[in-house]
Amino acid sequence: MAAGDSFYIATPIFYVNDVPHIGHAYTEVAADVLARWHRQSGDDTWLLTGTDEHGQKILRTAVANDTTPQQWADKLVEESWLPLLETINIQNDDFIRTTDKRHEEAVTIFLQKLHDDGYIYSGEYEGYYCVGCEEYKQLDDLMETPDGDYAGQLVCKIHSRPIEVLKEKNYFFRMSDFQQRLLDLYEERPDFIQPESVRNEILQFVKQGLSDLSISRSSFDWGIKIPWDHSHVLYVWFDALLNYITAIGYGVDNDEFQRRWPATQLVGKDIARFHAVIWPAMLMAAGLQPPKQVFGHGWLLVGGEKMSKSKLTGIAPSQITDTFGVDAFRYYFMSAINFGQDGSFSWEDLAARYQSELANGFGNLASRVIAMVNRYYDGLVPAPAEYTADDLKVQAVVRAAADNADAAIQSLAIHDALASIWTIVDELNGYITLQEPWVLAKTEETRKRLGTVLYTATDGLRALAVLLSPVIPEATAKLWTGLGAAAGLGELTDQVIVDAGHWGQLPVGSRVGTLEALFPRIEVTETAG
C-alpha cells in the first residue's frame, strides 16, 4: 500500500445476548493491531466495530430476563461491550449498533433499492431454523442426539440444541442469480477469501448451487421493518451485514462512503459464509463493490473445543488482563496463534510466554540497557564511534525485521510480523551478552566502544518500541519515555512504522529516564491457574 491509501477494517458486530469472552476479544485485538499499524504507516485508517441487536436470540434472552430487547441491548452495550474495548485497549473509530437510527434509515434505503430493482419477491419458507446461529439450516447441518436432554431430537451441530421448524410467508432475495458472479469474483481475486482453507470451503459451497435467501420474518417484531410491508421484520443477518456500509454513510453521505469502502473484514471462520457469499451478493445486487477481503480467522479452543459461553467454557477477557495486563493479553493471542488457524488457550502457556518472552526477553533487555546508559553516561545516550561487523549485523537485523513485519501485516499474518520483530529482541540480547558493556565500562580505552555498543542497543530499542507499539501500546509508551525519545523524535504513535528500520534515528544526547519493569514478575494465583 502507498501511504495515504484508505484502510477500512471491520470486525463482526457482536450479539448482545451475552457478555464478551476472549474469542470476541481476539477478533477485536487483531483488527486493532492492523489498524494501528496502518495508522502509523500514514494510511487513511478507519476501524469499525459494534453490536448486533435484533433477531429472535436477543428477543428471547430479553424476555427470559423480564425486560424488553431494547433495554436488554442498552444494558449489555453499556455494561459489557463498550467496557470490553477499554479492557483490551481498542482504538476504534466508530461503534455501530444495529438499533442506531442511522443504521435503520440506511438499511431501509438499501432494501427499497433492492426491491425496486426486482431482487426481492414474496414467497413461503418452510424449513429448519437455528435461533442460536440465527440461520436457516439444511438437513446436513443437523444431527440426531443419542442421549442427554434432547435424546432422539434433531439438533443443530453447532449449538447442540433442538432445531425449530418454520413455515412462514417471507420475502426472498434472489441470491441464486449471483452464483456465477461470485465464482468469477473468487477466481479473479484469489485473495478475496483468506486463508486458503476457508476459501476452499466457500468455493465448494457456492459450486453446489445457491438458493434464494429468506430475508424477512413475520412471527415476531424485534427488527427493522420491511419498508413496503410493516408486518415483516428484516432477517437479522441481512440487517447485521449492512452495518459495514451504513456506518460509513451509505445512502446518506456519499463522499464518506466513497472514501472508505471497500473494507478488509475479519470474521471467525464459522461466519465466513455469510461474509463471503451472502454479503458480496447483496452488494452486487445494489451495484456496490464487494469487500476488499474477507479473512476467516480460527477459533480459540478450550479443552479442544471452540470456546463458547453456551458450552460454559467462556473466559472473560478481564480474567486475563487483571492478572497479566492488557499488553500481555494482546501480545499472547497475536503471537501464540497462527492467525487463520485454531489455537488452544491455556493458562500455563500464557504464563510461560509472559515470563520468557515479555518479562525476560523484552522487558529485561529494555531495563538493562537504560540502566547502563544511566550508570555509565549519566543518562545521556552516547555517540557511536566506528561500527564493527557486530554492530552492522544488529542494524541489518533491525532493517530486515521492519521490512518483513510490514510485508507480513499486508498479508494479515500478524504472528509472522511478531516473529520478525522478535528477531530484534533476540539479536540485541545476544549482542549485549557478547559485547559485555559492563566490562567495556571498566577502562578508559574501551570507552568509545562502550558508546557504540550502548548507542546500538538504544537505537535498537527505539526501533522495537515503534514496531511493537501496535501490539503492546502501553509498554512501548513507557519504553519511549524511558528512552527519552520524545524530545528528539516526537510522540511514539507519530513515528512512521515503515521507517522504523532506518538506523540511527534516536538523537545522541537523548536523556533517558528510569524504566520500571515493563512486565513485572507475576505470582500466578489459583483463580488464574
Decide whether 16 or 394 has the Cβ nearer to ligand MSP.
16
**Cβ contact 296:272 at 8 Å:** yes
From the list 198, 233, 307, 350, which residue makes contact with ligand MSP (rule: CB under 6 A)? 307
Alpha helices in 325-472 (DSSP H): 326-336, 347-353, 364-377, 389-410, 414-435, 437-440, 447-468
Q: In whole angstroms, what is the distance from residue 310 CA to residue 72 CA?
A: 18
Pick out residues in 18-57 that bind ligand MSP (CB under 6 A). Answer: 23-24, 26-27, 52
Beta bridge partners of 229: 226
**Where does this chain touch ligand MSP (CB under 6 A) — which range of 248-256, 264-272, 285-293, 453-461?**
264-272
Q: In whole angstroms, what is the distance from residue 177 CA to residue 211 CA?
A: 9
Minimum CB separation of residue 494 from ligand MSP in Å reads 32
Decide whether 26 or 173 has the Cβ nearer to ligand MSP.
26
Minimum CB separation of residue 16 from ligand MSP in Å reads 8
| CB closest to ligand MSP, residue no | 268
Q: In whole angstroms, what is the distance from residue 50 CA to residue 115 CA?
A: 27
Report residue 516 as a C-alpha cell. 520500571
Strand segments, DSSP code E, in 222-369 are 225-226, 229-234, 264-268, 293-297, 300-302, 305-306, 343-344
Catalogue the active-site residues: 21, 24, 130, 133, 156, 159, 306, 309
Decide whether 29 or 492 has the Cβ nearer to ligand MSP.
29
From the list 7, 8, 12, 409, which residue makes contact with ligand MSP (rule: CB under 6 A)? 12
Residue 334 binding ligand MSP, by CB under 6 A: no
**Cβ contact 240:73 at 8 Å:** no
Decide whether 267 or 453 has the Cβ nearer to ligand MSP.
267
Residue 90 binding ligand MSP, by CB under 6 A: no
Decide whether 307 or 397 has the Cβ nearer to ligand MSP.
307
Indicate the DSSP class of residue 269.
G
Q: Which amino acid is it at 28? A: E
Residue 281 binding ligand MSP, by CB under 6 A: no
**Where does this chain touch ligand MSP (CB under 6 A) — which range of 263-271, 439-447, 476-484, 493-501?**
263-271
Q: In whole angstroms, what is the distance from residue 504 CA to residue 489 CA?
A: 12
Decide whether 232 or 297 has the Cβ nearer to ligand MSP.
297
**Where does this chain touch ligand MSP (CB under 6 A) — which range of 40-48, 146-154, 268-276, 436-444?**
268-276
| Alpha-carbon dihedral sign for residues 2, 291, 270, 317 | positive
Residues in the chain: 529
Residue 306 binding ligand MSP, by CB under 6 A: yes
**Cβ contact 266:279 at 8 Å:** no
297 is in an annotated binding site: no
Residue 240 binding ligand MSP, by CB under 6 A: yes
From the list 224, 226, 233, 241, which residue makes contact with ligand MSP (rule: CB under 6 A)? 241
| Alpha-carbon dihedral sign for residues 85, 86, 87, 92 | positive
- The greatest distance separating any two alpha carbons of the chain, rounded to the nearest whole angstrom, comes to 90
From the list 171, 299, 331, 332, which residue makes contact with ligand MSP (rule: CB under 6 A)? 299
Q: Under 8 Å CB-to-CB from 417, ≥6 apart: which residues?
A: 37, 404, 405, 406, 408, 409
**Where does this chain touch ligand MSP (CB under 6 A) — which range of 262-270, 350-358, 428-436, 501-509?**
262-270
**Cβ contact 421:468 at 8 Å:** yes
From the list 96, 198, 283, 300, which residue makes contact with ligand MSP (rule: CB under 6 A)? 300
Minimum CB separation of residue 77 from ligand MSP in Å reads 13
159 is in an annotated binding site: yes
Nearest to 192 by CA among 269, 259, 275, 258: 275
- The residues binding ligand MSP (CB under 6 A) are 12-15, 23-24, 26-27, 52, 240-241, 267-268, 270-271, 299-300, 306-308
Binding-site positions for Zn(2+): 130, 133, 156, 159
